[in-house]
Amino acid sequence: MNFWEYLESRHQQLLTDAYQHASVVFQCMVVATALGVLIGIVTYRSEWAGSLATTLTATLLTVPALAMIGLLIPIVGLGVPPTVIALTLYGLLPVVRNAIVGLRGVDPALVDAATGIGMSRLSRLVRVELPLAWPPILTGIRVSTQMLMGIAAIAAFASGPGLGNLIFRGIASLGSRNALNQVLAGTLGIVVLALLFDAAYVLLGRLTISRGIRA
Amino acid sequence: MPESGTTEAAPRSVGATIELEGLTKRYPGSDRPAVDDVSMEIGAGETVVLVGPSGCGKSTTLKMINRLIEPTGGRIRIGGEDVTDMDPVKLRRTIGYAIQASGLFPHMSVAQNIALVPKMLRWPAARVRDRVEEMLDLVGLDPGEFRDRYPRQLSGGQQQRVGVARALAADPPVLLMDEPFGAVDPITRDHLQDELIRLQRELHKTIVFVTHDFDEAIKIGDRIAVLREQSHIAQFDTPEAILTNPADDFVSGFVGAGAALKRLNLTRVGDVTITDYPTVGVDDPLDEISARLRSAGTDEVLVLDKRGRPYKWLRRGDIVRAQGSLARAGVLVHDTVTRDATLRDALEAVLTDNTGRVAVTGRRGAYEGVVDVETLMNSVHELLEADRLEARESQTGPEERRSAQTHAEQEGTRPSGDRGEAQA
């Protein structure tokens, strides 16, 4: 059976895996973004808190994905929970770092102007600082998503959802008839998903970044 | 009253008094206060300029008025009401604030920027929309063209105009301006200063204006506070008084050389005789233009473009040589002045053009009259004469000097000089 025949005979299963892969990455990204931006907002004003947040999330990233999931299994069990926790933690760093950099990069004169015309702290944040910091934050989200696409494959180790299952099954049965096809399909599937997500982010950027600050 | 911006009844609030009483700012860890015990009374509708070397605390003083910087001592009263302990966010919505390089939010359109404060004050949407149009019109930008632009699509001068429009949008009685024209080129700065003076004549706000440029202070201020370090007031007086009677060496050092020439900055084109001059439209037929020249008894007419703006000077000889078309005849108008331009600007314009006069324009650059070199010479002569008189009496206060100046103007003013005021 060549690769195309394999794809054709298994397309139902492949689509389900791809959908689950995309779904878990997407949901973890939503949580990581909300959490990451929140951490950025809480810490960007203070020199040490900002550094601490960046360092902590960076440290998390140095833990190998396989080890992280392995360590989570005894605590939260197999399946979806370890996958979601690991992906969310890994997704934090680029978002947190870019949120802090973006919020700190807002021209102090504009912050001064916002305060000077009578904006409260909250409305200054929501209407001036976050919109201006949004392009770098979105870049952080993009980087995170690309990264999570790959890391999510490892989730199969903990019986998690997604295209990783194909890759693991293929590797486990190397030498069998469809082993190579499985690994290839899983890998290519992840690459295609990553490209699709990236295209979606470009579109999101067009829709959410004000024309006044778009590059 | 600070609240008047929120009331529907008052269509336009005029200025409120500002009293600073022993205002002090001391930063922790610094043994000298940044601003030390400043007391100042600013009348309603007055423009006061704080001027001084950089680092003298003038900007800090300004920012304490809207409590962007919280004073560590002293009181602030606006319109008689003590605002030192009022909610700063509410306070700031009643005080216009314009800063250097406009401070416009780049991700919002011009209209959104201007609408910010009215929206925070929960004006109804229709009123906000009307107000945006009105403000753009007020600062001389066409609403249809500029409403939906983003700040980066504007020139520096246009951005600054929008910045002023935003500061004035909620009709605050007090306007604070922190070196607002510091980041634009000199020509644009000149125009913006003229605009501000025109606006202020219409609006009568209380303006506190910070600059390090003494010439700007002279041009704009009703009174000038020259500040030395820690915001100590070296002299607080009218521009005339500071120029002719500097309180001490620090002030005279700051006034700088050429005080006599700077006097020209204190008199505006609107204060001297603006005479009528024969004009023709750019589309008028040639024989009509010739007829106009003959009947006017001059050698030259001013050609206005379709929107009534000065376009070119046309001499009798030009028409003869024109051979049926005006397209290449005559000399283009290089420079015009507004009524709010200073005599120095006018003199500059007359000296660079070789027509011996400069066209005076009003709103949207429309022609209003001309000032010729004789008028300017007479004014300069009278100014210097008045200064000499002053020096002789040495003790003359600003009031008398003012009256001497007014007297001189009356002498030089022919009836036609009053004509334009209603149009302006």
pLDDT tens digits for range A14-70 = 888 889 889 999 999 999 999 999 999 999 988 899 889 888 888 888 888 888 888
**Chain A contact set for B89 (CB, 8 A):** 118-120
Examine the pLDDT at A114 and tell me if it is beyond 90: yes
Domain assignment present for A5: no
Q: How confident is the model at residue A99 (pLDDT cuts 50, 70, 90)?
A: very high
Domain assignment present for A10: no
Domain assignment present for A99: yes
pLDDT at site A110: 92
pLDDT at site B369: 87
Q: In what order do the strands lie in the sheet with B300-304?
A: B279-281, B300-304, B310-315, B331-332
Q: Are B36 and B231 a contacting pair, CB within 8 Å? A: yes
The string of pLDDT tens digits covering residues B144-159 is 888 899 999 988 888 9
CATH number for position A194: 1.10.3720.10
Closest residue in A to B153 (Cα–Cα):
A212
Q: With an 8 Å Cβ cutoff, are B106 and A114 in contact? A: no
Closest residue in A to B66 (Cα–Cα):
A116
How does the average pLDDT of chain B come out, rounded?
80
pLDDT at site B253: 80
**Chain B contact set for A128 (CB, 8 A):** 105
Q: How many domains does chain A have?
A: 1
Q: How confident is the model at residue B397 (pLDDT cuts 50, 70, 90)?
A: very low
The string of pLDDT tens digits covering residues B346-357 is 888 887 777 778
Q: With an 8 Å Cβ cutoff, are A210 and B106 in contact? A: yes
Domain assignment present for A198: yes
Q: With an 8 Å Cβ cutoff, are A110 and B89 in contact? A: no
Examine the pLDDT at A136 and tell me if it is beyond 90: yes
pLDDT at site B82: 86
- Range with the poorest average pLDDT among B6-15, B141-150, B323-332: B6-15
The string of pLDDT tens digits covering residues B227-240 is 888 888 888 888 88
Looking at chain B, the whole-number percentage of residues with pLDDT higher than 70 is 85
Per-residue pLDDT, averaged over A147-156, amounts to 88
Q: With an 8 Å Cβ cutoff, are A113 and B66 in contact? A: no
Task: Report the residue from B93, B108, B109 with minimal CB separation from A118.
Answer: B93
Closest residue in A to B148 (Cα–Cα):
A212
Examine the pLDDT at A143 and tell me if it is beyond 90: yes
Task: Report the residue from B66, B101, B120 with minimal CB separation from A116.
Answer: B66
Domain assignment present for A6: no
Examine the pLDDT at B103 and tell me if it is beyond 60: yes
pLDDT at site A197: 93
Per-residue pLDDT, averaged over A154-160, amounts to 79
Domain assignment present for A94: yes
Domain assignment present for A192: yes
For residue A65, what are the domain limits? Answer: 18-214
Q: How confident is the model at residue B5 (pLDDT cuts 50, 70, 90)?
A: very low
Among B95, B153, B149, smallest CA distance to B121 is for B95
The string of pLDDT tens digits covering residues B259-309 is 666 777 777 888 888 888 888 887 887 778 878 877 877 778 888 888 888
Q: With an 8 Å Cβ cutoff, are A118 and B89 in contact? A: yes
How far apart are the C-alpha atoms of B376 and B165, rounded to whole Å?
A: 34
ipTM here: 0.82
pLDDT at site B234: 86
Q: With an 8 Å Cβ cutoff, are B99 and A116 in contact? A: yes
Q: How confident is the model at residue B7 (pLDDT cuts 50, 70, 90)?
A: very low
Residue B111 to residues A116, A140, A144, B144: CA-CA distances in angstroms?
19, 31, 36, 11
The residues of A whose Cβ lies within 8 A of any Cβ of B are 109-110, 112-120, 123, 128, 131-132, 210-213
Domain assignment present for A11: no
Give the distance from residue B100's alpha carbon to the nearest chain A alpha carbon, in angstroms. Answer: 8
The string of pLDDT tens digits covering residues A76-92 is 888 888 888 989 999 98
